[in-house]
Structure formats: structure tokens, C-alpha cells
Amino acid sequence: MDRQRAVTFVLLLALVAVAVWGYDQYRQKNDYNVFLQNQYHRMFYELIDHVETIEADLAKAMVADSPQQNLVLYSDVWRQAFSAQEKLNQLPISHLTLSNTSKFLTQVGDYGFSLTRKNADGTPVSADDWSNLAELHNYAGYLAVELQKLRSSIQEKNISLGDLTREGSYIFARASDNLPNREFTRIEQEMVDYPTLIYDGPFSEHIQDIKPKGLVGDNIDYQRAEQVARDFLKGVNIQSIKKISNGNGDIKTYGLEVLAEGGNRIYIDISRKGGHVVWMLNQRDVDSVNISPTRAVELAKKFLEQNGYKNMVSTYSMRYDNVSVINFAYSEKDVVIYTDLIKVKVALDNGEIVGYEAEGYLKAHHRRNLPEPKLTADQAEERISMRLEIGREPRLALIPLENKDEVLCYEFQGTFGGDDFLVYINALTGKEERILKLLRSENGTLTI
Amino acid sequence: MKGGTILKKAVLVLMMVLILAFAFNIVYPLHFRRSVETATLYWGSTGEEVREVQRRLKNWGYYDGAVDGIYGPKTFQAVKNFQAKHGISTTGTVGPQTRAALGLPEKAADAYTPTRGVSSGDNVYLMAQAIYGEARGEPYIGQVAVGAVIMNRINHPSFPNTIAGVIFQPGAFTAVTDGQMFMQPNETALKAARDALNGWDPTGGAIYYYNPAKTTNRWIYSRPVVKVIGKHYFAK
């Protein structure tokens, strides 16, 4: 009797405990669910606001006539498009479905940015610009209407997370299909908030979507590629070479895997046209430091010369994992060509070249007719802010702009309040084209 | 009668377990919060302060890794060694005591202070986490390639504009969706992340990749494959 009662008691207690636990879990799950839904809804509602504002701004831009008004409108388009894109990409909808809408928003933003710049330069809006503006305006309107439809169905049905995903996917898929099939150039903005790209030194972002100009020579077969790899890795005791995968990107390549002494693997891609080494990575771990960074730069330069790259000047370098990555730019008649970049990675234990990357060079390098500067260095210096204390003598450099044009500039190095800067003054027009900030650390110099 | 005592004991044990479980629920988050308040540096921390710690430890010979602002396994070990030498309990984290022993300075205010908020360490660690979660079983070059896809997406108009934006885009990466990426990346993944950030792109501009053995998405097969590395197909 006693025993039975005790059993019942324990079971009851367990039941109550499980119920309490279960309820607690349920409540927590609900809280999270509601929290997430609120976040998504906020994203969604703000997205609609942004798209509506874009449409209105673009409409106003069609009739605005003063540069002051245009400046406000274009820069607002740019800002709104950026925010809209941020929010769109946080919605719980497959990125494959969203990709065209996302692209549209990026393009509107880029377009706003480039018009803002044009406006600042005093360049008038061209006929092409007017038709682009009209087209972007029309699509923004279409997108806003579609989004509003989704909103009203959300409000009517008191929609849940799953419904937002499902119905949203449908709307965005349809919106994507109706996107005007038109290619705008992607504009590289300098207001990047990812200082990662600074690793490359200035101006490395130019290499996307450019037809390779530096690929000279005839097509080669695989046997020849293997020979190129052997020549390139002269110091390495090669055990075997095998083909792993051909590359079919912007530069068509043969992809090789080299097995070196001690089981170490080296990967190397060689262009099918011309047989140039596009990149090489040696995965060897470097455990100690025996040579100085200066020596590493010398070794890297010598390596480039051995491989037929003369006239390369080292620009920026950084150290990590006991290796030094050195950035080289092509130089012609004392002008640093910042588009033609090669990176060389030197192991600081024995000076071996453990990495190489020439995509920038191979895509950008070609015979150029460099213009003569119209301004002297002193004249250019007058264009520089009084606040900047100028350091070493300026040098001439060719830099790429957002629209991928290349301009000849004087490169000034200077300091302000303990920070280092590079300022580029157009050698033909005197325009202040770009300002870069240098980040110095014992690991090397970076720019942003 | 005997059975009764056993049951009573069982009841007691059950109740204690329950109480403990609830107590843990309340205490654990509290403990978590406190450690954030005192800004303890631990495995996974990044930024200028970590860099400072590494710099000091390196000067004094405790640390032989890169001064990169990322609190990784090497920094962890170096801090532990430092603590052992200075009679601080070897937690491997930099709390107030270790901080004092390291002599981290106070910063003075000025009209214009030189820029200090810009660093790339956070991104290296975040990307290493994504690489480790997505491709830790792949050859080294395949890991760099995954990092390169993230970089290519940042510059592509159809994708978000930041590393975090690309990585945390809903549904973009399986390792992010199922939480696998929140593991400590190993040295290989960190190295691959740095190579990818430094511009090595083994894929030749790919913005998608998939494992044909696991993918059920038909659409992805329509994308032109630009490179095959390990188990992954890289596509544009």
C-alpha cells in the first residue's frame, strides 16, 4: 500500500516536473520565434520604405534642375539602395531567389553614387543617363507594388515565419523575372567598410570583370604547362605532378598539384593561353623566422626577374604566419602602374617562394601610351590640404578609377595627427582623385 | 518497507536534479554576462587589445605566432605560460589580474587621436570559422577556394557587401544554418582565410560552390562550373 502510494507520488512529481520543463521550453521557443519574426518584419517593412523612397527620389531627379537638389537626391538614392539591399539579404528567403532583386538594388545604388560624383565634377547628365534613370525608376515602382502586395497579404493572414518565406519567395521570383535585362557596370566604391581588401595595397579591386589584357602568346598543351610548372618551382624537389582541375574562369587555366619532397603539396594554375603562372600556393607551414623582411623583398624581386617580370617595384607588404606577402606593381618610365599587380609570398625561414598571385597583372597589363603630366609636382602640391604634412617627394602613378578608367596622378605621402595618408592628385587636371589611409603595424603596411 | 526507502531516496535525487537544472539555467547566463562586462580576452577574441597582448608576449618570448589581433591556440598557450610564470591561475584568458601583470596602458584623450578602430582581425576569424565549418575535410586549396567565394560574393552585385553579410545571409551556407560554423577554427582554416583575404582565388571568380553528391538543388547545376577542387564544384 505504502509502496504503491510512493510510486504514484514519484510519478506525479516527475509528471509535474516534465510539464514545468516542457512549458518553459515552449515559452522560450515562442519567445525566440516572436523575436525572430519581429526582426524579419522590421526588415521587410523597412525594405518597402526604402524601395518606395528610391522610386520617389528617382522621379524627383527626372525634374530636378539645380546641382544642389540633384546632389541630395542622388546621394539619397545611393543611401536608400544600400539600406534596402542590407535588409533584403537578411530576409529568410533563399539567396538564389533574391539574387536579381539584390542586383537591381546594388545597381541603383551604384548609379546614384556615380551620378553624385558626376554632379560634384560638374558633368551634365547625358541622354543615356536620362533613359537609365527612367528605367530604374520604373522598375523601382514595379518592385514597390509587388512588395506592397506581399505586405497586404501578410497583414490579412497574420502571416507566420513559414508563410513569409513561402509567399516572399514567390513574389521575389516573379519580380526577378521582370527585371530589365540590362547590364550596368559595377562601380567599385571606395567607401568600403571591409578593410580586408587593403591587404592588397591600393587599387586591387579593379580586377573584376575585365577581359584579361596581359595574356600574350599561343595556346599551350598540358605537357607544356607541366614544364612551365617545373621551371617555376626550380628550387623544389618535385616527386610528382598531376593535373587536378582545369579552370574556366576569366583566365582559362590548367590546374596542377605538385607533390614535393616530404609530402608537401603545392598548387599551381597555368594559363592555357601563353602559359603564364596565374597563381601558386605552397601549403607548407613555416615555423621559424631566419630572414629579415628587407631580405624577403630582395628575394621576391629576384624571383620575379628570373621569371621574366622586370621593372616591378615593391609597394606594400605584410607579415603573418612567418611569411611575408609583398605586393609588386609594374613601373614604366618612373610611373608606378598600380593596376598591374603581382603578389609574392616569401617564407621567412629559408626564403623560399611559397605563394604567387598574378591575376591582377595578367588581367590589366598591356602596352600603354602614358600621357605627359601637364602639372608640375609643385603645382600639384598646391592642391593638397594644408593640414597634411607632406613627407617624401611625390612620384607619378597610374591609378584606376571607379569606372575603371586609368588616370595619371602624383602620389603624395603625408601625415596628419599621427596618421599616414596617400593623396593622389591628377597630373593632368589637378583633381584630387583619391585619398588612402595607411595602417602601419609590425606586420606590415596596409591601406584603406 | 525497504522498497519504500529506496523510493524516497529516488524522489530526493530526482528533486535535487531538477533544482540543479533550474539553478544552472539561471546561473549560467549570469556568469556569461559578467565575463563580457569586465572585457576578459579569451580564445576567439579579436582586435587591438589582443594585438597588444600578443606584442607584449612576443617581446618577452612567450609567444612566437603572428601579431594579428586574433586570440588563437598559440596565444592561448602563451597566456597560460605567462600566467604560470607569474603565479596567476592558468586560465588561458586575460582577466584583470593578467591584464595588470601584462601592464596594459591607459589611453589618454586628445583632440585628434590617431585611427585605431580599423583592423582586419575580426574578419579573418569570422571567415576562418566559415571555412572550417564548410570545408574542414577539404584539401587546403579547397579551403582557400571557399574563402575566395566569400570574397567574390562581396564584390558581386547580387550579394551583400560585407563579409558578415555574405556569411550570415539566410540559407547561403549550410554550416551557418546549422550552427556548425561556431566552432574554433584550426590553424589551417585561419591560414586559408588569410590567403583568401590577401587575394588568392583558386576558383577564378566563382560565386557558388556545391557538392554534387549532396546537393538536391537543380538550379545550381545550371551554373557554369569553373573549377573542381576536392569534393566541391565551383561555379559562376
Tell me whether residue B161 is in a domain: yes
Per-residue pLDDT at B194 exceeds 80: yes
What proportion of chain B, given as a percentage, has pLDDT over 90? 12
Q: Is B155–A188 a contact, with Cβ atoms under 8 angstroms apart?
A: yes
**ipTM surpasses 0.90:** no
Considering only alpha carbons, which residue of chain B is nearest residue A264? B140
List the single range of A300-309, B3-12, B194-203 with lowest mean pLDDT: B3-12
Q: Which residues of chain A lie closer than 8 angstroms to B170, CB-CB?
A: 90-95
CB B149 within 8 A of CB B131: no
Q: Which of B158, B197, B226 sits opposite A103 (nearest CB)?
A: B158
Q: How far apart are CA A254 and CA B204, in angstroms?
A: 12
Judge if B83 and B156 occupy the same domain: no
CB A384 within 8 A of CB A425: yes
Q: Is B224–A248 a contact, with Cβ atoms under 8 angstroms apart?
A: yes
Q: Is A102–B195 a contact, with Cβ atoms under 8 angstroms apart?
A: no
Average pLDDT over every residue of B36-60: 76
Q: Which residues of chain A lie closer than 8 angstroms to B65, CB-CB?
A: 321
Q: Which of B1, B151, B202 sits opposite A267 (nearest CB)?
A: B202
* HEC per residue, chain A: CHHHHHHHHHHHHHHHHHHHHHHHHHHHHHHHHHHHHHHHHHHHHHHHHHHHHHHHHHHHHHHCCCHHHHHHHHHHHHHHHHHHHHHHCCCCCCHHHHHHHHHHHHHHHHHHHHHHHHHHHCCCCCHHHHHHHHHHHHHHHHHHHHHHHHHHHHHHHCCCHHHHHHHHHHHHHHHHHCCCCCCCCCCCCCCCCCHHHHHHCCCCHHHCCCCCCCCCCCECCHHHHHHHHHHHCCCCCEEEEEECCCEECCCEEEEEEEEEHHHCEEEEEEECECCCEEEEEECCCCCCCCCCHHHHHHHHHHHHHHCCCCCEEEEEEEEECCEEEEEEEEEECCEEEEEEEEEEEEECCCCCEEEEECHHHHHHCCCCCCCCCCCCHHHHHCCCCCCCEECCCCEEEEEECCCCCEEEEEEEEEEECCEEEEEEEECCCCCEEEEEEEEEECCEEEEC
Q: Measure CA A410 to chain center.
A: 26
Considering only alpha carbons, which residue of chain A is nearest residue B201? A279
Tell me whether residue B151 is in a domain: yes
Give the CATH number of domain A377-447.
3.10.450
Judge if B65 and B143 occupy the same domain: no
Tell me whether residue B20 is in a domain: no
pLDDT in tens, B38-47: 467 888 887 7
Q: Is B165–A89 a contact, with Cβ atoms under 8 angstroms apart?
A: yes
pTM, two decimal places: 0.72
Judge if B80 and B131 occupy the same domain: no
Q: Which of A194, A198, A419 sits opposite B115 (nearest CB)?
A: A419
Judge if B90 and B141 occupy the same domain: no
Judge if B93 and B165 occupy the same domain: no
Tell me whether residue B91 is in a domain: yes
pLDDT at B109: 39
- Of B73, B102, B131, the residue at which a domain comes to its end is B102
CA angle B202, A265, A444 (to 5 degrees): 65
Q: Which residues of chain A lie closer than 8 angstroms to B218, CB-CB?
A: none
Whichever domain contains B127, its CATH number is 1.10.10.2520
Residues of chain A with pLDDT under 70: 1, 157-163, 175-210, 402-404, 440-448
Average pLDDT over every residue of B64-88: 86
Listed by number, the residues of chain A in 34-63 with a beta carbon closer than 8 Å to a beta carbon of chain B are none
Using a CB–CB cutoff of 8 Å, tell me whether A6 touches chain B. yes
- Residue B43: count of CB within 10 angstroms of its CB: 14
Judge if B134 and B84 occupy the same domain: no
Whichever domain contains B59, its CATH number is 1.10.101.10
Tell me whether residue B224 is in a domain: yes
Q: How far apart are CA B150 and CA B205, in angstroms?
A: 10
Q: Is B199–A199 a contact, with Cβ atoms under 8 angstroms apart?
A: yes
**Min Cα separation A247/chain B (Å):** 5
**Which of B64, B113, B115 to mutate against chain A (most A CBs within 10 Å)?**
B115
pLDDT at A442: 58
pLDDT at A360: 85
Q: Which residues of chain B lie closer than 8 angstroms to A280, CB-CB?
A: none
Tell me whether residue B183 is in a domain: yes
Give the residue from B232, B235, B136, B138 showing the smallest Cα distance to B181. Answer: B136
CA angle A311, A317, A320 (to 5 degrees): 140
Q: Please report, to the nearest 10 degrees, the dihedral formed by the alpha carbons of residues A26, A27, A33, A37 taken in order.
A: 150
Q: Please state the domain extents for chain A.
A: 2-177, 216-275, 377-447
Q: How far apart are CA A357 and CA A280, in angstroms?
A: 6
**pLDDT band per the 50, 70, 90 thresholds, residue B115:** low
Judge if B65 and B93 occupy the same domain: yes
The DSSP code sequence of chain B is -HHHHHHHHHHHHHHHHHHHHHHHHHHHHHHHHHHHHTT-B-TT-BSHHHHHHHHHHHHTTS--S--SSB--HHHHHHHHHHHHHTT----SSB-HHHHHHHTPPPPPP-SSPPP-S--SHHHHHHHHHHHHHHHTTS-HHHHHHHHHHHHHHHHSTTS-SSHHHHHTSTTS-HHHHTTTT-S---HHHHHHHHHHHTT--TTSS--EEE-TTT---SGGGGSPEEEEETTEEEE-
Q: How far apart are CA A91 and CA A265, in angstroms?
A: 41
Q: Which residues of chain B lie closer than 8 angstroms to A322, CB-CB?
A: 66
Judge if B223 and B148 occupy the same domain: yes
pLDDT in tens, A378-405: 888 888 888 888 888 889 999 887 666 7
Q: How far apart are CA A135 and CA A119, in angstroms?
A: 20
Q: Specify which of A169-178, A263-272, B21-30, B90-99 reaches the highest per-range mean pLDDT.
A: A263-272
pLDDT at A348: 92
Alpha carbon distance, N-terminus to C-terminus of chain A: 81
Q: Is B66–A321 a contact, with Cβ atoms under 8 angstroms apart?
A: yes
Q: Which of B123, B155, B204 sits opposite A249 (nearest CB)?
A: B204
Q: Is A91–B170 a contact, with Cβ atoms under 8 angstroms apart?
A: yes
Residue B126, domain extent:
121-235
Q: Which residues of chain A lie closer than 8 angstroms to B144, CB-CB?
A: 281
Residue written as cell 587546403?
A: B140
Instruction: Work out how many domains chain B is built from and give that number.
Output: 2
